[in-house]
Amino acid sequence: MPYMKKHYQVLICILITMVISQGLTAQQLVSGETKRYIVIENSDEYFKEANGQIEIRDFLVYNIPDGESSKPYHVEINELSNVIKFGISSKAETVSNTRRCTLIMNSTNYIDTYRKVLSKLGVEVIFLSGERLHVDEFYQMSIDN
């Protein structure tokens, strides 16, 4: 019996170590990223439908230099035909080199519109539940579902 108890303790220690190292690995991937990126923790809750429109509120775009103006992004993205409203903060709020954004789109072809918005923002990488994807990979996954 004491042997089994010791065996379970070792097994639990191994499992805890694996979980912690998985989290650190995902965090290291993101922190070492040099390209412009966004993070999506839960794709099922990312695109929210409200009043026949698709909303993405308070998403962060990383690796936008603090001195870079957000006005060109604001103007260009609001001119896209399927965009109802796009907002981007003029400066980083809590984390340097990040901007908080809000996007409201027509529900028709919203995945295509979102891809165009990311392109205008210069986003190349999406971290989806810890997995690093190129924007085109995310787009393909989205249209396949």
- What pTM did the predictor assign? 0.77
101: domain CATH number is 3.30.70.60
Domain shared by 28 and 42, yes or no: no
Which of 21-25, 57-61, 77-81, 125-129 is the least confident region? 21-25
If one counts the domains in the chain, the total is 2
Q: What is the domain range of residue 18?
A: 1-32
Query: Are 94 and 23 members of one domain?
Result: no
Residue 11 has pLDDT above 50, yes or no: no
Q: Can you list the positions of beta strands (E) in 4-144?
A: 37-40, 48-50, 53-62, 83-88, 98-106, 125-128, 131-134
Report residue 109: phi and psi, to 5°.
Answer: 55, 35
| pLDDT single digits (tens) 89-101 | 999 988 899 999 9
Q: Are both 72 and 14 inside the same structural domain?
A: no
Same domain, 64 and 86: yes
Q: Check whether residue 42 and residue 74 sit in a common domain.
A: yes
